[in-house]
Amino acid sequence: MSEKPISREESFGYDRKTIDYIRNAAAHGLYEIRGMGAKRKLPNFDDLVFLGASLSRYALEGYREKCSTKTILGTRYAKKPIELDIPITIAGMSFGSLSANVKEALGRAATEVGTSTTTGDGGMTPEERQSSKTLVYQCLPSRYGFNPDDVRRADAIEVVIGQGAKPGGGGMLLGQKVSARVAGMRTLPEGIDQRSACRHPDWTGPDDLAIKIQELREMTDWEKPIYVKVGATRTFNDVKLAVHAGADVVVVDGMQGGTAATQTCFIEHIGIPTLAAVRQAVDALEDLDMKGKVQLIVSGGIRTGPDVAKALAMGADAVAIGQGVLIALGCNHDSYFQNGEHRPASADYSALGTAPGFCHHCHTGKCPVGITTQDAMLEQRLTPEFGAKHLKNYLKTLNMELTTIARACGKQNVHHLEREDLVALTLEAAAMAKVPLAGTSWIPGVGNI
Amino acid sequence: MDSLNFDLAEIPLRTVNTFLHKEAPGQSVKKVVITNPDGAHNIAVGLDFPVDIEVVGHAGYYAGGMNKTASITVTGSAGTGVAENMMSGRVHVKGFASNGAGASAHGGLLVIDGDAGLRCGISLKGGDIVVGGSVGSFSAFMAQAGRMVICGDAGDALGDSLYEAVLYVKGNIKSLGADAQIEPMSAADLATVKELLAAAGMDHDPKDFKRVASARSLYHWNADANQEY
Ligand code: SF4
């Protein structure tokens, strides 16, 4: 008797992932919280390509000819704008989600390559202030650890309205990461699940924000640039409102942006891709005739030199990187480096129910490579020296790729890259970025085929 | 130099604030009187030295914001966010205070003789607040540490998602927020209310106050509290 063949026809609507999701929901009665950013396929900068120089454009020699990367942020009102050697900055990530060693590594590497780092929810640590030549201090809804001395110690202040991974949502630091030091900085009991508010406590709308920004300016005698960071949703309107409120710099964080711990339903379902957001942000600045007067930083899924170059060509003045930075430090690697040797970490990934290359378990505080942890043993797995060396290499590589692309497009300054240098490989990217589909002059929604 | 006068009808606020930050601390200024504030925002923000400031009239948003060690009195009413994120010192509003009074204050004492608007003491992180009148809804939302004494009534959702801050209310509480509960007054609570009322210069019987604190049921993920996350 022949065996009955097994049907393996998977449902599109109820595939294994969806079945898993429903099973988990039924088992726990709670939504999932995780770290990192959106995992789904989204239109991104890979869907754009540069039109290098040829007969119609004159290229610069790829290695020798000068190509400036100097970047100045905060020229609108601040007496002391931020001057960076490269347009690639480190995005805000909190001490609490990251270990103190990691914060120090970020500061060291950023200082060596001449760029800025950013604090996160939970305040400024002495380690990061000391190691960072240029430090942006975030003013978040929770105001955990926020204090006037650190405002005065900062080089710029970033008022965070939202984050690309969770626009409209607050934050969560699960109890296992609320160590004595983290709890002390946040004025909370140790070990509790700490929630971060989604709204600022002392202002409610854009008119209030204008006064809040003025308070920060008055407080710092108009010296420091004030950034406003928004998660990408109604980006055109939000950027306009941020400019009206008096921002020197607007930071737009697309939905690929990472987080230490957020509901998966936010990460995957709220916000718009960075590619769409950067175009809306630039449109808003151009509409207000503020392009170049208010600087734009773009973040959310910036991984490579070409990503940086494309963001700049689209009109950003700089980018900010979070997840790429963590990966450079060893996130999702199968080993860590301790006491002079590489040690396997796969068993620790398994214990979390994941594997190297697939991990998004920052929320657990049990990072196998010692990055997103407050555990005294685990955090030894990443020393500031080791982390800084790798991060510096990563940032240098991105910058080299950026300049070599700029030269190929005939630019002596990376800020001269322009939209005209780009075409899109897909209809979606062409429509979102409003650049022509490759080989045509067609921009969906704008021109004719 | 003991006492100084600034007339905001004549001198830009920016000049006054810069003077208070950069020059006054080194000149042993003891008292500064600011006249004609006319509701100007950000008066005396970010002070970092022991000085008496008297604002004669009404102040706009964020008066005395992020204060350290200074003692600031507003003889009229104050706008949104008075004494927000105060670290130490004292801010005294003789009239009414608008929304978010004392928001996220880490230390110091905020005294409001009249009523306070919505979200008074929101996100409080260790400061003390004494309100002679009533407070609006959502007061002490997510308040983490510190103490609030409310001599009048409290609006809706008092102490929603409270952490370790403790609230004392003399009048009616329209409703309590998630995880806030009324608890018995201990001898230590009575002493605390007495001490804070004395510091604020107010005369009430501590025995007339109720204690509101966190039930701590939201400190850890709780599947049965689905609407509270
Ligand atoms: S390896 Fe560490 S930093 Fe990377 S996703 Fe996993 S827990 Fe987070």
Which CATH number goes with the domain that contains B211? Answer: 2.160.20.60
ipTM of the complex: 0.95
- Return the pLDDT at B1: 63
Ligand 1, pocket-test mutation among A371, A373, A390, most atoms within 8 A of CB? A371
Query: What is the distance in A from the centroid of ligand 1 to the CA of B73?
Result: 50
SS3 sequence, chain A?
CCCCCCCCCCCCCCCHHHHHHHHHHHHHCCCCEECCCCCCCCCCHHHEEECCCCCCCCCCCCCCCCCECCEEECCCCCCCCEEECCCEEECCCCECCECHHHHHHHHHHHHHHCCEEECECCECCHHHHHHCCEEEEEECCCCCCCCHHHHHHCCEEEEECCCCCCCCCCEEECHHHCCHHHHHHHCCCCCCCEEECCCCCCCCCHHHHHHHHHHHHHHCCCCCCEEEEEECCCHHHHHHHHHHCCCCEEEEECCCCCCCCEEHHHHHHCCCCHHHHHHHHHHHHHHCCCECCEEEEEECCCCCHHHHHHHHHHCCCEEEECHHHHHHHCCCCCEEEECCEEEECHHHHHHCCCCCCCCCCHHHCCCCCCCCCCCCCHHHHCCHHHHHHHHHHHHHHHHHHHHHHHHHCCCCEHHHCCHHHEEECCHHHHHHHCCCECCCCCCCCCCCC
Q: How far is B229 from chain A (nearest CA, A)?
A: 9
Tokens of A340: 């002079």
**A20 within domain boundaries:** no
**Count of CB atoms situated within 10 Å of the CB of A311:** 29
**B33 within domain boundaries:** no
**A417 within domain boundaries:** no
**A72 within domain boundaries:** no
**A128 within domain boundaries:** yes
**B144 within domain boundaries:** yes
Q: Are B81 and B101 in contact (CB under 8 A)?
A: yes
- Return the pLDDT at B226: 56
Looking at beta carbons, which residues of chain B come within 8 Å of A123? Answer: none
Query: What is the distance in A from the centroid of ligand 1 to the CA of A259?
Result: 11
B25-48 confidence digits (pLDDT tens): 999 899 999 999 999 999 999 999
Tell me if A188 and B100 make a contact (CB, 8 A cut-off). no
**A75 within domain boundaries:** no
Write out residues with Cβ below 6 Å of ligand 1: A 35-36, 326, 331-332, 359-362, 367-369, 371-372
Question: Relative to the CA of A354, which ligand 1 atom is closest?
Answer: 6
**Count of CB atoms situated within 10 Å of the CB of B198:** 11
Residues of A with CB under 8 A from a CB of B: 28-30, 142-143, 146-149, 151-152, 174-175, 186-189, 192-193, 195, 197, 201-204, 208, 211-212, 214-215, 218-222
SS3 sequence, B118-133?
CCCCCCCEEEEEEECC
Query: What is the distance in A from the centroid of ligand 1 to the CA of B119?
Result: 37
Looking at beta carbons, which residues of chain A come within 8 Å of B17? Answer: 218-219, 221
Looking at beta carbons, which residues of chain B come within 8 Å of A185? Answer: none
Tell me if B84 and A202 make a contact (CB, 8 A cut-off). yes
Instruction: Specify the residue for token string 């960076």.
Output: A84
Residues B3-21 as b/e (b if ≥16 CB within 10 A, e otherwise) read ebebebeeeebeebbebbb
**Measured distance CA(B89)–CA(B69) in Å, rounded:** 4
E strands within chain B? 3-7, 31-35, 52-56, 71-74, 90-93, 109-112, 125-131, 145-150, 166-169, 180-183, 210-214
Ligand 1, pocket-test mutation among A174, A262, A326, A348, most atoms within 8 A of CB? A326
| Number of domains into which chain B is organized | 1
| Interface test with chain B among A218, A263, A364, by most B beta carbons within 10 Å | A218
> Which of A29, A143, A193 minimises the CB distance to B104?
A143
Tell me if A203 and B65 make a contact (CB, 8 A cut-off). no
**Measured distance CA(A182)–CA(A170) in Å, rounded:** 18
Query: What is the distance in A from the centroid of ligand 1 to the CA of A141?
Result: 25
Q: Which residues contact A139 (CB under 8 A, 6 or more apart)?
A: A146, A151, A157, A158, A159, A160, A216
**A217 within domain boundaries:** yes
Tokens of A344: 């396997």
- Return the pLDDT at A448: 53
Dihedrals phi, psi of A415, to nearest 5 degrees: -75, -5
Query: What is the distance in A from the centroid of ligand 1 to the CA of A218?
Result: 40
Full pLDDT tens readout for chain B, 229 residues = 678 999 999 999 999 999 999 999 999 899 999 999 999 999 999 999 999 999 999 999 999 999 999 999 999 999 999 999 999 999 999 999 999 999 999 999 999 999 999 999 999 999 999 999 999 999 999 999 999 999 999 999 999 999 999 999 999 999 999 999 999 999 999 999 999 999 999 999 999 999 999 999 888 766 565 555 5
Query: What is the distance in A from the centroid of ligand 1 to the CA of A151?
Result: 30
**B80 within domain boundaries:** yes
> Which of A186, A202, A221 minimises the CB distance to B81?
A202
User: Chain A to chain B, count of Cβ pairs less than 8 Å apart?
Assistant: 118
Which residue, by CA, sits nearest to atom 4 of ligand 1?
A: A331
Q: Are A120 and A97 in contact (CB under 8 A)?
A: yes
**A237 within domain boundaries:** yes
What region, left, alpha or beta, does residue A302 occupy, with left being phi > 0 and alpha being psi -120 to 50 degrees? beta
Residue B44: DSSP 8-state: T
**B12 within domain boundaries:** no
Report pTM.
0.95
Q: Which residues of chain A have pLDDT under 70?
A: 1, 447-449
Which residue, by CA, sits nearest to atom 3 of ligand 1?
A: A331
Ligand 1, pocket-test mutation among A106, A267, A361, A374, most atoms within 8 A of CB? A361
Give me the domain span that covers residue A274: 85-394
Query: What is the distance in A from the centroid of ligand 1 to the CA of A351?
Result: 13
User: In angstroms, what CA-CA distances link A378 with A177, A202, A259, A371?
Assistant: 12, 38, 20, 8
Looking at beta carbons, which residues of chain B come within 8 Å of A218? Answer: 13-14, 17, 42, 45-46
**B17 within domain boundaries:** no
**A36 within domain boundaries:** no
**What 3-state class would DSSP assign to B87?**
coil
| Number of domains into which chain A is organized | 1
Question: Relative to the CA of A366, which ligand 1 atom is closest?
Answer: 7
**Measured distance CA(B109)–CA(B90) in Å, rounded:** 5
- Return the pLDDT at A326: 97
Ligand 1, pocket-test mutation among A93, A332, A354, A381, most atoms within 8 A of CB? A332
| Interface test with chain B among A33, A139, A187, A266, by most B beta carbons within 10 Å | A187
Give me the domain span that covers residue B204: 40-217
**Measured distance CA(A265)–CA(A166) in Å, rounded:** 9
Q: Are A238 and A230 in contact (CB under 8 A)?
A: yes
- Return the pLDDT at A182: 81
**B76 within domain boundaries:** yes
CATH number assigned to the domain comprising residue A139: 3.20.20.70
- Return the pLDDT at A56: 86
Which residue, by CA, sits nearest to atom 5 of ligand 1?
A: A360
Sign of CA dihedral A385, A92, A38, A193: positive
**Measured distance CA(A53)–CA(A296) in Å, rounded:** 26
